[in-house]
Amino acid sequence: MRFLNLAGVCLAGLASIASAGVVPAERVNAVEKRATSTTTRVADAACTNGPLTRSCWKNGYSVATDFDQKFPTGGATVTYNLEITNGTCNPDGNGPRLCLLFNGQYPGPTIRATWGDNLVINVKNSMKDNGTSIHWHGVRQYHSPGSDGVNGLTECPIAPGDSKTYSFQVTQFGTSWYHSHFSSQYGDGVVGTMIFEGPATANYDTDLGVYPLTDWYYQTAYQINAITLQNLANQGPPPSADNILINGTNKNANGGGSYSQVKITKGKKYRLRLINTSVDNFIRVSLDNHQLQVMTSDFIPIVPFYTNWLLIGIGQRYDVVITANQTEGNYWFRANVATDCLSGNKMGALAIWSYDTVTAGTPTSSAFAAAAAGCYEPAGITPYWKQPVPSSQFLNSPLTVSLTRASFTPGGELHVLWAINGSSMNIDWSYPTLSYLMDKNTNYPTDLNVWPSSAEGSWNYWLIQMAPNMPPVPHPIHLHGHDYFVIGYGNGQFNQSTASLNWANPPRRDTATLPGGGWLAIAYPSNNPGTWLAHCHIAWHVSEGLGVQFVETPSQVTLPDSAAYKKTCDNWKAYVPTSYWKKDDSGL
């Protein structure tokens, strides 16, 4: 993430509102009507999912079913075994570099399950000198907060040589990814993708599966993280990434490596699951001559809309449908660094999409006209489930985010760090927040940045506000344990008398963009007891303490199996005294 200098950011509870101007957004075309099928917006027991009826599912469930309100039960138990090892990888042909890999591959295996299934994922840490914890991004973890995979909050790290089992029900459908939550470790390869089969709001013939996009560095993530921390002290930017990868590959600046290649058939419709798994870069994508029909924002089904270019923030996902309706030939798929989001990269990425009646070759297609500048959420996002948010329960509980000088270790070197209310988040790997709940200990240290949620069944409202004179650096804000409603966003300082807020049917997702120099207003109900992290998903920023955690209805939290939990922590504590790498950042 590039920026010139830094001031602060402010998180505050929402106050009263009125109406005002609109923030520019990605240019989109008119919204398409919902695809016709045998169903109405009410779930239909007789509805069968197929190419012309993707809104259907089975057993009385369809895309009309809000999965926070109702989801299938009694599904299959689906088991995966993942082992993380030290290795090397060379995804763009520039040369091998140190990587940390799931099952010896990059990206890691795609985890597939069906809406209502129960996932059991056994993770073995065979890395030589790294602890880890594995987070299942965007997964609600309903009644399973101990499987959220955030060391220092929901578990102790998994020590080298140790294993942990993550178990949770698939209460949602759609596309996501998994990654380690241990400093900036996932930037060295500890990532994979997930598909939860279910209904959709647009029809298609073939599901092409996941299409992850990521920035790529030739130095390790830990090296880049250390440089970024030094640069922050001087109000300088992080290093630019060296490349962008599409589905794990690309050519490098010298022409080595290879492009991702996809075959399509004239007249067919294809579902493509786009995921930004970067550590730093916002990425904008398009397929020459072919519009993208967007049908999800993260896990949430939306009213489909068309666009030529789609901006994807770090951690965000969009499922799109591409219709093969152009002259048969070869076309470039483009993934460009979003410089208007102040993201830095020395390269862009290309992939080759070919109709199956022609010989695959270098495309001569031309890009669409450039998207309107601005690092904003796409304007066409309207949830398929119309759900008004009450506007009468405002709380005014300011949280101020700024820079401070602090140390991550007692008596250690002071660094310039992100902080909330003067506290840079700094978790304790050996005594996670769930341990406080197990011990009925409410004496949380300040630097855990613990905040209570509203009472069960009531609403939480937060205004994330960049302070005056802050450089226009956008932040992708991700919340664990929930998706949230994006009530509004805008430039400059939030003004109660002029802010434009959407209470009638706001966008809903688990990762949204705080505009540079502006504000982002979100809301969500307390309906999932647990200890939930909220943080900027730029890896360097959360490493530098930009996060808070919400302890939601602690008396009703479903605690993990105490014996297994204790075993993980005991093994970690036994490992720490002889560990090679010592904790030197927030731990997240």
The band of 452, judged by pLDDT with boundaries at 50, 70 and 90, is confident
Across 436-455, average pLDDT:
93
**Residue 173: what pLDDT?**
98
DSSP letter string over 268-327? -EEEEEEEE--SS--EEEEETTB-EEEEEETTEEEEEEEES-EEE-TT-EEEEEEE--S-
Q: Is the dihedral of CA 523, 529, 531, 532 positive or negative?
A: negative
Which of the given ranges, 53-62, 192-201, 467-476, 579-588, has the highest pLDDT on average?
192-201
Strand partners, 419: 402
pLDDT tens per residue across span 400-437: 544 455 556 676 665 545 445 667 789 999 999 999 99
Nearest Cα to Cα of residue 558 among 530, 538, 533: 530
pLDDT at 44: 56
- Determine the straight-line distance between the first and last CA of the chain, rounded to whole angstroms: 18
- 191 token code pair: 């990532």
At 513-546, the pLDDT tens digits run: 988 888 888 999 999 999 999 999 999 999 888 8
What pTM was estimated for this model as a whole?
A: 0.92
Q: Pull the structure tokens for residue 13.
A: 């509870």
Q: Which range is least confidently modeled, 347-361, 368-382, 560-574? A: 368-382
Beta carbons within 8 Å of 583's beta carbon, 6+ residues apart: 408, 409, 429
Beta-strand (E) ranges in 26-93?
Answer: 77-89
Note the pLDDT of residue 202. 97
- Three-class SS state of 225: helix
pLDDT band, residue 48 (cuts 50/70/90)? confident
Order of strands, edge to edge, in the sheet holding 330-337?
Answer: 260-264, 349-355, 330-337, 283-287, 310-312
Structure tokens at 586: 């927030």
What span, in angstroms and rounded, lies between the C-alpha atoms of 251 and 94?
Answer: 8
